[in-house]
Structures are given as C-alpha cells and as structure tokens.
Structure 1
C-alpha cells in the first residue's frame, strides 16, 4: 500500500484527520502492516502492547476479566489507547477473525498525543465526551443554525424596563423613546412582568382607565424568560407551547437584557412549524385540523435533515400534537361536557417522545358523580378522527374508545389498587403507561389527583417496585454488534436500548414521586436529587440521544421507501462513526441495567 493510500486510509479514521501534514507523515513513517491468525491474544493484563492497532481487515473481540465479550472491533476500528497511555489493561483483546492491521509504534502514538491537543482530547476524554466528539464528527456536514444557534446569536431587542410603581403615562412615553410597543415591569422582588399594545387596548382603552395608574395594576406577571445562552430552538418551542409572541431574555445573573420576538426567531429558522401551529389554532372543523396534522411529518423530515437534536424535535412535535388533541377535544365535545373530564395521552406520547406517529395511547378521566356513558360516543368519534389523521390505532386497544380507558376518578383509583395488589406483567405495563400520562385537554386537576393517589398507594412497596423495575431487564442489549452484522443484521433498537433506559428511569421516577413525564427531564431531576451520579446521568442522556436519533433516521427511511414503520435499524447501513456511537451507547445501557438491578435488588425476587 502506497504512502498516499495509507494517508487516505488514516484520514478516514477519527481522530487521525486532525493531525497536521507533518504529524501524519511522522505517523506513517512509524507504522507497519501486521498479520495475526485467529485466537491470537494481542493485549491482556499480562501482555501490554508496544503498538496502537488499526484494523484493515478481520475482527478482534475484547473480553472482560470474567470472559464476557464487551466490545468488538472491525475494519477501521482502532484500539487500545488506554493500555499505551496508562501502561496497564484489565481486559483481553483476542483475534476473532484473521487480522490484517496497521501497528503504530507506542512512542510515536504518545508523541502525537502530546503534540496535538485535539488528538489528545479524544483519547483522554471520558465516554460522554467521546460520544459527543463522535457525534460532532458524524453530523458536522449537517450542522445548521437549527442545531447550534443560541439565543444570543439572533436579534435581541433592547428592553424598555420601568419600576412597578411607575405611572402608565410615563412608561408609555419611555417605550416611545425606545421605539418599542412592549413595556417590561420590574418588581422590587426582582420578578418581571409585561405590558403589550393589545393589553393596553383591553385594560385601558376599553375599560376607560386613567393613564396615571401604576403599571403593575395592569401588567401580566410573570414574564416568561430564556437565558441568552439557551438554544434558540428551545425558545421557539416555548413560544409555540405558550402561544405568545415575545419572551424575555436574561443573563446568567437573572438580569433582563432584552426581548426576543417570535417573528425574529421564525425568520432565523424559516421553518414550517409556525404555519402548522397557526393552522391548528385557526381550524374551524375536523377537516381543517386533519389538514394541519398531516403537515407534521414534513416538519420532522426538515428538522432531522438539518441536524436538529432528536430531543428538540420531540419537544416541538409533542407541543404541536398536544394542540391537535386539544383542538379535537373542543371540536368534538359539547362545551358543557369539557370541564368535567380530562383527556390524557400516555406512554411515549405522554413522555413527549413519540416523533413519528406509531400508535396512540390515550384515555379519559371523568369527574366522579358525572355520567361517563354520555362521553362514550364522543370518545369513539375522537379515536376515529385520530386514526383518520394518521395516528395508528393502539394494538393493545389503549384508547379512549375502549371503556377500560374511559371512566371516572373513583374507578381509576380502584384500578390502581388492582395494578399494585394483584401484579402481573399486563398490570405492570398498564401502570407504567398510566404513570407517563400527561393532561392535554379538560380539567387537568383530575389527573393530578389520581397521581397523588397513586404515589400514596406505593408507600413502602419495595417488593412491588422491584417487580416493576424488573421489566428494565426484559430484553437483551448486545455486547457486540458484529453478530448482527453477520447474521440478521437488524437490531430492534427500542428493545435493545430505548426501552431499558425509559423503564429504568421511569422506575426511579415512580419511586421518587417525580411528576415530570419526559425521560430526559426525569434524568436531570434524578441527578439533582443525587439518585443518579452526574457522570451516569450525562452518559444516559447521550446514549438516549444516540439511539433515538438512529431510530428516527431508520423510521424516516422506512417512510421514504413506503415500508411499514418499525423500531429496527439495519446495521449494514450504519457508517463507521454511527457504529461506534451505537457500541458506546450499548455499553452505557448495559451498565445502567446493572445499576437498576442493584438499586431495586431485582436479583432477590423470584
């Protein structure tokens, strides 16, 4: 192989592409090609290598001390920097298939680490930062303002701020000097409020009030804010969720530094989400709403193509889905019935994690002493419309059209008793789905009351919680990917990685009485409560993002090809870096399963 061929090969191996031409030349000068037959031990606790290995052809398995395969290495994979850097290794690396590889001399490798900071950072980083580095490499070509733009990167309007006791006439005069129609009010407590033109029309002109009144008497408190260092996409999500046109911007000290206008955010992104949001709001009948909901898939495709993180996509789509449900509820139900019930979404919809419409999990909670039967025809209609909108029916019939999921508070309370006192797999899953419920329309207090009741029933139920958490271990997570690459080459990513994280975190959240439903926010709360260590929480967040990104990519490809959507990913279609990301994510999931087993003492139950 020529020097040019060697350089071309190395340039495709992360992070060798960060080497300078001189460093690359040095690397090639001290690099040889080697051959090893099957079962050759390359590295072990007793055999520390003098070379850094990069596979050209063949494969190598890494075994733990108890002889379990923990990682597989194939073409373009490299190993083992740690044994060279630290001079020790607790695992064993054995050739699985005849190996042809490059060997870089130890001293040369260590020299490159000292001379190139980016190269050094990659090999000395922890697993979380390594995953982030790989993701940056994989998606650099897709990075756009969607993914990296911060609030401070867009237009922030200077805020016209007045004290709470300022006369309205004086505040209006000041706003004219600032050439703005928005007045920000600051209380002595540090809380901020807002007065807009529309508020002046309603509270002053129409009510005939005097302009000498203090601004606090008509202002709206509190003013929603974002930090100037927050992602701009997060600000867009809040604007859409809250149906507002502007939001305050604060610095790290919580001080107001300006106003972010919806129009400026939209012009920055120039995406279709605001159009869909407006269509949902303006929908006058079911057909209008159907048209709006059909546009969601185009938003998903656009955001994914532009490199938006899957968590941001799910948040935005979740908000829009919620608005579809709210609007449909109000279109179908007579006004006199709406406030005596609460429409809820559950499962992945309740966790705000269903991006592609794969099924619907929903229910209705009716106030006690109100006739549930009068709601049933309307619930049948809602299910029918949702199916027509493209929300597939739930295979388990977990829908409002099913009488089991349409009843009053008292009946649901009796149901939770049965789930806990007579546990079986179906009851565990019903409880899990219900625990993830989120109120989308009607009287939300009905659901809050039910969850309070559920938390109280679970007090001192350690054995139940152990059985509940055991579902985390229900599916195998591959220790290697190579067996899938050579056999079925398909991995059900939901069973292998998504579900174990969701169920394990859900179990911890249930035990800790955490009301938040999204997995990402649950992880952050568990970290704050010291249930999860900071590093473990960070690892789970990264792994969750990786596996959901790969799942979404595969599902969008299925849609493009006209195939039925599922949770399988084709490992043959994965690029080198995607495969590395998946390997590292599986490693995190496997460790998390061990953690859940230990915390809930699952191995102590039959």
Structure 2
C-alpha cells in the first residue's frame, strides 16, 4: 500500500482526520503493517503492547475473563487505554486472521499530547465519545427544509374585498375570516393591502370615518410570491423589505392566500408548526385526516435537520394528541365528552411512537355512567384512526375492545388483579396502562386511577421484582459480531430499546413517578439519586442512538414500500453507526445487571 493510500485510509478513520499534515506524515513514517494468525493473543494484563492497532482486515475480540466485551473489524482501532495508562484488565485475541497497521507507542502518545482533538477523543468518557461520533455522522446531512416551496407551508385564506367597499364592511368581513389582513382588489391581478398597523396610522390617528372606501388607505401593489417559489426566497423578501406578510399568487397572478413572516420563521425552525396549524384549523374529519397524513413528512423533515429522536417523538406525540382530541370532539356527543377520559398507552403514552405503527388506547368512564352508550362511538374512533393510517393493535388494545372501555371502578379491579395474580399478560397490561396519558375528556379520572395504582403497590417488593424481570426478556448482543456474522437483521426494539424502557419503567413505578416519557423518567431518576449521573447520561445517549437507527430503518421501509417493523439490516450500517451500536449494547447490558441488582431479580424463581 502506497503512502498516499495509507494516508487516505487513516483519514477516513476518526479521529485521524484531525491530525495536521505534518502529524499525519510522522504517523505514517512510524507505522508498519503486521500479520497475526487466528487465536494469537495480542494484549493481556501481563503483556501491554508497544503499538496502537488499526485493522485493515480480520477480526479481534476483547475479553474480560471469558466474556467477549467488544469485537473489532475493518477500520476499528485498539487499544488506546493500555498505551495511555500502561495497564489493562482485558485481553485481546485474534478471532479471524488479522492484517493491521501498528503505530509506535511513542508516536501515538506524542499525537495525543500535541493534538487536542485527537487527545479528547481517546480521553473523553463514553458519553462525550457518543456525541463526537454522532456529530461526525450527521453533520454533513442535507437539510431538506432548504428546498421547501411556498406551497409546502401554511397559507392564510385571503380576505378579499372589491374596490369601493366601505372600510367598516371590510373590517367586519376580516373578523369573519379571523384575520387582521384585508386584501383590496383594484383590478384583475392588481391588489392592495390593509393591515392593523395601517388602520391605526391612517384611520385612528388621522381621525377618519370608517365609511370611507378601502382604496383610500390601502397600500398598492401588494408584494407577492408565487406558490412555486422556494420558501427561502420568500423569507429573503420579507427580511429585505422589512415586512410581516406577503401575498401568494398562482401562475395566473390570482391571490391564493397570505404568507406571514412568523409562519415562515416557524417553518424553518420547526416544520411541525405547519401541521399543528392544519390540525387546529380542521373543521371536519376529512380536514383532520389530511393534516394527520403529513406527520410522516414532518418526521422526515425533522430527521433530515438532525433533530434528536426524542425531540421528534415528543413533537409528533403532541401532534398525535391533538389529532386524538379532535377525533374525540368530532365523534363523541358533547354531553358525553366530560364523563369519560380518552387515554393513549404504551409507546403512544410515552410520546415515543414516531411512525404510526399501531394503536394503544382506552377509555375511562366516570363511575355511575352507562358505559354502553359510549361503545358505538369508540368503534367509530377505532375505525377513524385506522382510516387515518394508525394500524389496529394486534393485541386489540383499543377503545373498541370492551376490556379497554369501562368505568374507573372496573379499572381499579383490574389493577388489583394484575398485582395480586401476576402472570406475563398481567405484567404487560400493567406496563401498558402505567404509561397511559390523557388526551381528551376529564383527565382527573386517569389521575384517580394512577393514585390508586401507586397505593396498591406499596410494599410490593416481590411483585416489583417480577415486573422488573421483564427487562431481561430479550437477549442483548454482547458484541456486534454476535449478529454481524450470523444474520443480516436484528430486532433493535427487543434487543436495545425495550430493556431500557422496561427497566426505567420499573424504577419509575417503584418511585411513584408520574412522568411517562423514558427520557424524562431517566432525568427524574437521576435527580432522585436512583441513577448515578454517568449511568443516566449513558442511557440517554444509548436510547437516542438505538431510536435513531430504528427511525432510519422505518423511513427506509416506507421509502421501499415495505411493512414497518423493528428490524435493522446490520450490514447496511456504516462504521460509525456500528461503533455507536456496539457501545449502546454495552450500556444496555450493564443496565440489565443494574436492574437485576436493584430489584434482586436473581433471588426470585
């Protein structure tokens, strides 16, 4: 391999691209290619190496006693810690014939001493390494909002009045349109504008009568943009002219609406504002369905911007809540609405369902109210949600199921049964219910049920141990090699996401924490000193990585018109994604050990 090839190879491996030209040249001059056969032991606690290894071909396993901790593949490097600290507790053994670069120890330590970026990567804790790798992985992604068109954002219906209209009549019409902007039509394709500020200046301050014709104060012509113009161009015009709104015209020059500066700024800051406005303004189920249909595009936009997954899920969760609330309002008669509470549960209740995967919802009815009168409306809600693109729950956890549509007292009987006669189904029902969140109706009904649940769990340590044991239900790979060499696909929800969710849910249930989102629960548990800061931060980073990879796989399946599931193709992962996944699994396995210790799971049968 030529010097140029060596330089190109190293430059593609973080953090070697941070080296200066001189440092890179020196590194290459003191670097050799080495070969080691399968089963060769490279590093042990008794044998500290004199080189830093960078793999060209082959696989190396890192062991702690007999347990494989990490596997190293093409472009992976090791072991900085033993060189920096002069000791290690682990062993490194060749699993598949190894060809690698060996960089002399003295040169490696010299690079750490003289290059802050290089030094920070190897000396940072795991959380900082996570952030560094994620920044590198996603920094170059193109933000799709830069190519958004005017028609992609929210447009306000135009309040148009003809030339000669009395000002008082124009103001009355604007109030009907719920707008402060009046468009005056002078002639074909020729328009003027009257705003609130103009009314203050030209009418109130000048003492004019409201019976004057609108053209006497209208500013003409109104500045306009075309529906096909880029939104960024509209923003440029608004800033350049120092105005708050522009008219929007079609290709024939006819006014289609007005575009407000605040809407444009909101679009660039957060595309959810557009969908939020459409949901808010929906007057029928048809309008609401159209707005709901844009949620996937919103997810794509936010993901392209590099917005963290838990922020995306929180925003989408809020939008979903508004959709549910509107459906409840449209479907359930007004006189019945406040005698019940519509709740979402599971991932929806935790604000962690990003793509519409399935429904988890229920209805809590006030004691003394006839539940039967709600059943036909609950069936309609389920059918409406299916029509909106929310698939039915395979476990039938939906308001149309009588089991999930009953009175407060009936739910209290269920929670008592779940606790006193525990089995796997009861554990899962309790877990789903504990994550419930009120979206419409009388929210006090759910608060009452949560209070009752917490009271029932007092001094139920054995039950909590069994409940927490579900954290261990699915195996989490100890190394990426566990699945990289055996299969292409892995269920990232079962192996990584679920253990964090269930473990944190168990701790939160024991600590009577009402918050439902996993991220906020972790932060509260840290504040309560249940989780050490380091573990809490590691869990937050791992949870973000796992859900980011999960979302990426979901969006790819949507693009390929495939059924959404939680499997990721491990062979499609880039090196940085593989490193992030590897460290995430390490954190999940450590968390499982923590849960086992805290709840004394090893003491139960």
Deviation at 1:488, TM superposition (A): 1.2
Deviation at 1:398, TM superposition (A): 0.2
Q: 1:382-397 counterparts in 2 under 5 A? A: 382-397=381-396
- Residues 577 and 534 of structure 1: CA distance in aligned 2, closer, same or farther (over 3 Å): same
- Residues 505 and 271 of structure 1: CA distance in aligned 2, closer, same or farther (over 3 Å): closer
Q: Distance in 2 between matches of 1:265 and 1:522?
A: 34
| Secondary structure of 2:139 counterpart | helix
Q: Which residue of 1 aligns with 2:208?
A: none
Q: Distance in 1 between matches of 2:495 and 2:449?
A: 32
Q: Which residue of 2 aligns with 1:149?
A: none
Q: 1:405-416 counterparts in 2 under 5 A? A: 405-416=404-415
Are 2:316 and 1:317 aligned?
A: yes
Q: 1:123-272 counterparts in 2 under 5 A? A: 123-142=122-141, 263=262, 266-267=265-266, 269=268, 272=271
Q: Distance in 2 between matches of 1:68 and 1:396?
A: 38
Q: 1:490-501 counterparts in 2 under 5 A? A: 490-501=489-500
Q: Which residue of 2 aligns with 1:340?
A: 339
Q: Which residue of 1 aligns with 2:248?
A: none
Are 2:582 and 1:600 aligned?
A: no
- Residues 519 and 28 of structure 1: CA distance in aligned 2, closer, same or farther (over 3 Å): same
Contact 2:54/2:77 (<8 A) preserved: yes
1:311-341 deviations in Å (ceiling 9; x for gaps): 1111110110000000000000000000000
1:509-566 deviations in Å (ceiling 9; x for gaps): 0000000000000000000000000010000000000000000000000000010000
1:102-132 deviations in Å (ceiling 9; x for gaps): 0000000000000000100000011111111
Q: Distance in 2 between matches of 1:265 and 1:127?
A: 39
Deviation at 1:453, TM superposition (A): 0.2
Q: Which residue of 1 aligns with 2:4?
A: 4
1:165-199 deviations in Å (ceiling 9; x for gaps): xxxxxxxxxxxxxxxx9xxxxxxxxxxxxxxx9xx
| Secondary structure of 1:89 counterpart | coil
Q: Distance in 2 between matches of 1:303 and 1:268?
A: 11
Contact 1:340/1:442 (<8 A) preserved: yes
> Given the two structures, how large is their TM-score scaled by the length of structure 2?
0.80
Contact 1:365/1:409 (<8 A) preserved: yes
Q: Distance in 2 between matches of 1:84 and 1:276?
A: 54
Q: 1:286-297 counterparts in 2 under 5 A? A: 286-297=285-296
Q: Which residue of 2 aligns with 1:21?
A: 21
* Unaligned segments of structure 2, at least 5 residues: 146-179, 181-195, 197-259
What is the number of residues matched between the two proteins? Answer: 494
Structure having the higher Rg: 2
Are 2:554 and 1:555 aligned?
A: yes
Q: Which residue of 1 aligns with 2:425?
A: 426
Contact 1:493/1:551 (<8 A) preserved: yes
* Unaligned segments of structure 1, at least 5 residues: 147-180, 182-196, 198-260
1:477-531 deviations in Å (ceiling 9; x for gaps): 0011123222212110000100000000000000000000000000000000000
RMSD (Å) for aligned C-alpha atoms: 1.7
Deviation at 1:144, TM superposition (A): 6.0
Are 2:24 and 1:42 aligned?
A: no
Contact 2:266/2:273 (<8 A) preserved: no
Contact 1:145/1:269 (<8 A) preserved: no
Contact 2:144/2:304 (<8 A) preserved: no
Q: Distance in 2 between matches of 1:145 and 1:393?
A: 31
Q: Distance in 1 between matches of 2:144 and 2:526?
A: 30
> Given the two structures, how large is their TM-score scaled by the length of structure 1?
0.80
Q: Distance in 1 between matches of 2:287 and 2:540?
A: 38
Q: Which residue of 1 aligns with 2:51?
A: 51
Contact 2:490/2:568 (<8 A) preserved: yes
| Secondary structure of 1:289 counterpart | helix
Deviation at 1:418, TM superposition (A): 0.2
Q: Distance in 2 between matches of 1:410 and 1:532?
A: 35
Q: Distance in 1 between matches of 2:118 and 2:526?
A: 31
Q: Which residue of 2 aligns with 1:504?
A: 503
Q: Distance in 2 between matches of 1:538 and 1:38?
A: 37
Deviation at 1:268, TM superposition (A): 6.3
Q: Which residue of 2 aligns with 1:202?
A: none
1:330-387 deviations in Å (ceiling 9; x for gaps): 0000000000000000000000000001000000000000000000000000000000
Q: Which residue of 1 aligns with 2:62?
A: 62
Contact 2:279/2:288 (<8 A) preserved: yes
